[in-house]
Amino acid sequence: MVGPPETGGAGGASVFRIAGAGFTVGDADTAPGDRAARDAIGRELGAERRRTLELIAPLTDAQLAIQHSPLQSPIVWDLGHIADFEEQWLVGAADGSGAVRACDPVYDPMRHPRAVRGRLRLPGPDEARRRLQEVRECAQRRLERVRFAARDPLLAQGYVYSMAVQHEAQHSETMLQTIQLIPGVRYEPSWRAEPPAATSAPSGLVTVPAGPFVMGTDDRSVAYDNERPAHAVDLPAYRIDVAPVTNGDYLAFVEDGGYRRSELWTDDGCRWLADTKVAHPGQWIATSSGGWSERSFGRIAGLDPRRPVVHVSWYEASAYARWAGKRLPTEAEWEKAAAWGPAHARAHRYPWGDAPPDPTRANLGQRCCAPAAVGAYPAGRSVVGCAQMIGDVWEWTASDFGPYPGFEAFPYREYSAAHFGKGYKVLRGGSWATRPIAIRNTFRNWDFPERRQIFAGFRCAADA
C-alpha cells in the first residue's frame, strides 16, 4: 500500500515517498502553532476512541468475535484494523526510520473481502482492546515529535491525523451496521436520545437554476483524494426533492405493487429481485393486522411514516423514483443543491453554511440511533431550500463511483483508485450514525447497488 522508502533530505531527516508525497520527520518543535495543533489532534483522537469503546461495551465477547453476516466483518476485525491502520500511519510513518511498514495481511481489506474475514485467525476482544491501547500510546508519543511542515502534504495541517480520526469514525458507523444485523440483540447505548420532533413537514421539489458551480474541493486538511480537485460543472436547471423519501411515501409504492412491477426496475434490479425475493425495506416487518413495524437494534415499533425510509438498496431507490415519475439525482446535482446558491460565489462546507454541525442542524454523531422525522432540522436547510441533506440517511445517487478530472491518489491508491469502475454507486450526505468529523458536502461514499445493511435512503430529482 506504500512505495519503497527513500533516504535523504535536509538536516539528515528521513524522507520517503507515499503515493508521491514526501514526508519529513524531525525531533524538535520548529513550527509555531504545533502545540495547539497537537492538543487539537489529541482531543479528536480521544473522542473517536471513546466512542469506539462505548459502542462495543454493551456487547458480549461472543457477539464481538462472531461474523454475523457475510456483508460485515466480525467486530474484532474492525478493532484490529483500526489499530493496524493507526500503527501504519501514526506510528510507523512518524518514527523517523525512513520506512512505513506494510499493512498486516490479516487486516488488509483488499486481500480479505468481508465475506471471508470470519475464517481468519483473529485476536479475542480483550487482546484487541489491549492492542488499541498500546498503539494509541505509541501514536501519542510520536505526536510529540512531529513537525507540521507546510511543504509536507501528509503532515501539513495535520492531514495524516485527520485521516486516522476519520478512519476510526467511519468504522464506528460500520460496527453499528453490524450490530443492527446481530440476531436477537437488544442494543441500548447509554447516550441514546429520542430524535427531535418535526416543526414542519417539507415536501415537493425545489428548482435549482441552470449554471456552473464548483464541485469537489482543493482542501488538503481533511478531504479525501476522491473529493479533489475542485472543478467547474455546468448543469441545466433541474428539480430535486426538498426532503428525503419517507416511510409513508415508500409504503405507497409497496402497496401499489412496486416490487411486482418489472417495468419499474432495471434489468439488474429485476435479477436481484428474483434472487433475493425482497418485497420491502430491510428492517420492515409485516404485522398480523396488515400494517407494518420496523426493527431497530432489537426494538420493534410501529412504522413511523414521517421518518426517511432506510435500509433500501440502489435498485429499490431507482424503482421508486421511476414509479413516482422522477429519477435519482446525479451526485453533481446533489452537491449543487447542498452546497451552492444562486447568489453565492463559492460552495459551502455544509448545507447551512460553514459552521460545524450541531444538534439543531443535523442528526449526526449516533445520538438518536435512528433517522429523525422530516422537518426536524429547519436550521439545517441548504440555500436552495433542501432539508436534511446531511445526517439521517445516506442518499443514493444515480452516479457511478469514479475519479474527478485531474484526480491524484493520495496518500495510498487503495483508498479510492482501486475502487473506481467496479460497479459502485455513490451515496452522499451521511446518516444518523455518521460522526461529524467524517461528513461534509463534498464527501463521497460508495457501495454496490444491492447493499441494504447501510443506513441508506434517498431523495428524487426530475428535469426542470
What confidence score (pLDDT) does residue 427 get? Answer: 98
What confidence score (pLDDT) does residue 97 get? Answer: 44
What confidence score (pLDDT) does residue 412 get? Answer: 86
What confidence score (pLDDT) does residue 24 get? Answer: 36
> Which of the given ranges, 110-114, 182-186, 339-343, 439-443, has the highest pLDDT on average?
439-443
247-262: burial string, b at 16+ Cβ within 10 Å, e else: bebbbebbeeebbeee
More confident residue, 351 or 190: 351
* 202-219 residue pLDDT tens: 889 999 999 999 999 999
What confidence score (pLDDT) does residue 102 get? Answer: 67
The confidence band for 34, taking pLDDT boundaries of 50, 70 and 90, is confident
More confident residue, 412 or 98: 412
What confidence score (pLDDT) does residue 278 get? Answer: 97
SS (H, E, C) 215-270: ECCCCCCCCCHHHCCCEEEEECCEEEECCCCEHHHHHHHHHCCHHHCHHHCCHHHH
What confidence score (pLDDT) does residue 150 get? Answer: 63
CATH code given to domain 205-247+279-463: 3.90.1580.10
Q: Which amino acid is at 226?
A: N
| Rounded average pLDDT over 75-104 | 79
Phi, psi at 213, each rounded to 5°: -145, 165
* 296-338 residue pLDDT tens: 999 999 999 999 999 999 999 999 999 999 999 999 999 999 9
pTM of the predicted protein model: 0.91
| Rounded average pLDDT over 244-262 | 98
pLDDT of 98 > 80? The answer is: no
What is the domain class of 10-180 according to CATH? mainly alpha
pLDDT of 252 > 70? The answer is: yes
Q: Which three cell numbers stand for residue 269?
A: 434490479
Q: What ranges do the domains of the chain cover?
A: 10-180, 205-247+279-463
Sign of CA dihedral 279, 201, 344, 361: negative
